[in-house]
Structure formats: C-alpha cells, structure tokens
Chain A
Amino acid sequence: MIADEQGGGGLAPDELDRYSWQRSVAGFGDDGQRRLKAAAVLVSRVGGVGGAAATYLAAAGVGRLVLAHAGNLRRNDLNRQTLMSTPGIGRPRVEQAAERLRDLNPHVVVETVPENATADNAARLVAGCDLVVGAAPLFAERLLLNAEAVRQGRPLVDAAMYDAEARLMSVVPGGPCLACLYPAPPPHWRREFPVLGAVAGTVGALAALETIKILTGCGPPLAGRLWTFDTAAMTCRTLTIPARRECPVCGLACPAPP
C-alpha cells in the first residue's frame, strides 16, 4: 500500500529502488514496470542465446520466467552458457540457471521444466505463459513452439545465430510466423554449430529487449521484419517478411488479398 501511495501501483519500495534506473527510460516508466511484473515468459532453452535473454528478462523484472531445457551441463557448453558454472558440470542446466536468476532478482518467480519442447509438451508450455522466447538449437523445437504460439495467440520472439551471424524476429498474432520463413525443418541444419559466446549473448540480449517491447509497448517490435546482424563485418539489415497465405501455420490468419 505504501508503494501505491508513492505511485508504484503494486511495486514494493525495494522494487521501485531496484528498477529506478530503467523507470526513467522513455516509453517504459512505472507502467512498463508493472506490465513486466504481471507477465509470464517461457524461455525455450537457456544456452548461449536463451540464457542471455533470461538474464536480462530477470534483471528487468518480468514477473514469472519459465525455463525449459533438458540435460546436464557439459564442459564444452561453458564458452557461451554464462548462467552456468564450472563446478556445475554434470548438474542440470535448468537448475543452475534458475539459481543464478533468483540470486540476480528474487522478485522474479523462476520455474524450471527439465525438458526441451516436444509435440507432447509444447501446448502446455505455451499455455502457461504470455510470450515465448525461442532459442533452441533445433528447428523442430522452434517450429513446434511457433505453431503453438500462433494457435494460442501468444507472441513469439525467435532468436538464432550461426558463426558470425545473428537473426531475430518476432511473431505477433496476425503477422507472418517462423513457418513462413522455414516451411519445414531445413534438411542441412546440424545440432552442433560454430559459436562465440559473445555473438550468442548479443542476440539473446536483443531477444530480451524485443520481449520487453512487446510486453510493455515501449517500442515497436520486429513484427513482420527479420533483423540480421553480420558480426564479422559489423553490418546489420532489417528485411521485410511478407505474410504467406500458403503458410500451413498462420496462413488462415493472413488477410485475404484485395
């Protein structure tokens, strides 16, 4: 109640202090802070990309984070998976990530699902959240979450990288989706890919920013646009992505041609 009298509206005094440097961001403010606190975000895998996204979402004060990632930490994950630690090799990734995020911001409810997205759990994972961050290293997982996000009318932020390239797009209801870009799991993609942690972390941090934009309205997200960054040349492009009526996932949602 004290917070309400101070204009915090559901934000406790220590939250108002914790977020004081971002409450002054133009277009964000206390309204944005309250919207973040009211939101639940699913992060599909907390590796190099998803771990960075989860870090900045936790720091910013998203109310509930659901981390989905199967398996135990390997030594060769540590060049990019910065939520993990060397003593944690052999321990579940998702537990280590949750511990670090709770330490970073105890106001965030962090839930763990020690599973990757599958046909069996995708509907349930998406249903429990307001927005999905897709950061799995397999197209099958990304496309499953895309299909469920479109079906359930939830936004999806998809962040990917390979070698020096980073790509980011947001799927919002009524707009083009990931299956418009990739109609089927591409035949040549391999689970192991060249990665410097700094490139994965860059696109993961920007996925957190996209998520914050969508949840709070503090800026226009990449809906219908694909952002691509060549970190070798340090050049980026924003491509327009047309919605496809032929898309088997979102096609029926696209407006009819005039």
Chain B
Amino acid sequence: MQIFITFTGPLRQAGPNAVDVPEGTTLADVCRRLADESAGEVRRHLLTVDGDIEPSLLVAVNGAGVPPEERSCRRLVDGDELLLMPPIAGG
C-alpha cells in the first residue's frame, strides 16, 4: 500500500513524498524506515539516540495529530497522508 508523506519545518526539503509499505505497517514502522533510508539530518529529527520515535516530533495522519503513545500501535491504511513536523519555536 502507498503512504503519502509531507515533511515540514527543518525537514521541508526532505523526501520521499511517498513510500510503498506492506499491509499492517504502523506509523512507527514508517518513521523508522524513513530514518534508516535517510541522511543524518532526517534521522535525528525522527528518532532518539535510543532508536525510539522522537517524542517532540509532531505527527499527523490525514490531519489528525497522533500522540507519542499511539504511534507504535497505529496501523496505516492505503492512501494515508502522513505529516512529519519537527518542533519549531522561532519567535
């Protein structure tokens, strides 16, 4: 199935815009895969040094925020739009 991805903030120019993943893939699985396939800058925004999903990364699926405690169990479905937003605080 295909998942569409938008990166924002410090990762605005990162990619890919879409990934093909097997049925049953979770949100955390996609974040780990993107981190594994990316350079250091993407990886450090997505994962902690321990390899967990960075808790201050904002994640939304189809416009609804998904809190950290639900990311490992949240299964995606074909066509889901994933928004990955590293924290920003410019004032």
Contacts and interface: CB of A to CB of B under 8 A. Distances in A.
Interface in A140-192: 142, 159-165, 167, 180-189
A45 B91 contact: yes
Nearest to B60: A239
B8 A180 contact: no
Nearest to A237: B63
A160 B63 contact: no
Contacts of A232: 12
A162 B85 CA distance: 11
Contact of A238 (B8, B63, B85, B86): B63
B45 to A, nearest CB: 6
Contacts of B85: 167, 228
Nearest to A192: B90
Contact of B58 (A181, A195, A230): A181
Given A240-B63, A242-B67, A161 B55 contact: no
A61 interface: no
Given A182-B87, A186-B87, A228 B8 contact: yes
B63 A142 contact: no
Contacts of A163: 9-10, 12
A167 B69 CA distance: 23
Nearest to A235: B6
A161 B90 contact: yes
Interface residues of A, number: 44
Contacts of B65: 181, 226, 239-242
B12 A167 contact: no
Interface stretch (A6-14, A30-38, A93-101, A130-138): A130-138
A21 interface: no
Contacts of A137: 89-91
B60 A246 contact: no
A228 to B, nearest CB: 7
A163 B60 CA distance: 20
Contacts of A187: 54, 56
Residue with the greatest number of chain A CB neighbours at <10 A, chosen from B58, B67, B83: B67
Given A188-B45, A246-B69, A164 B12 contact: yes
Contacts of B56: 181-187
14 contacts: A135-B91, A138-B89, A161-B90, A161-B91, A162-B9, A165-B8, A165-B88, A183-B56, A187-B56, A188-B87, A189-B89, A239-B60, A239-B65, A240-B65
6 closest A-B pairs (Cβ-Cβ)?
A162-B88, A186-B56, A186-B87, A137-B91, A135-B91, A161-B90
Interface of B: 8-10, 12, 44-45, 54-56, 58, 60, 63-65, 67-69, 83, 85-91
Given A49-B90, A159-B91, 17 more contacts: A138-B89, A160-B88, A161-B91, A162-B88, A163-B10, A164-B12, A165-B8, A167-B85, A183-B68, A187-B56, A189-B89, A193-B88, A239-B63, A240-B63, A241-B65, A244-B67, A246-B67
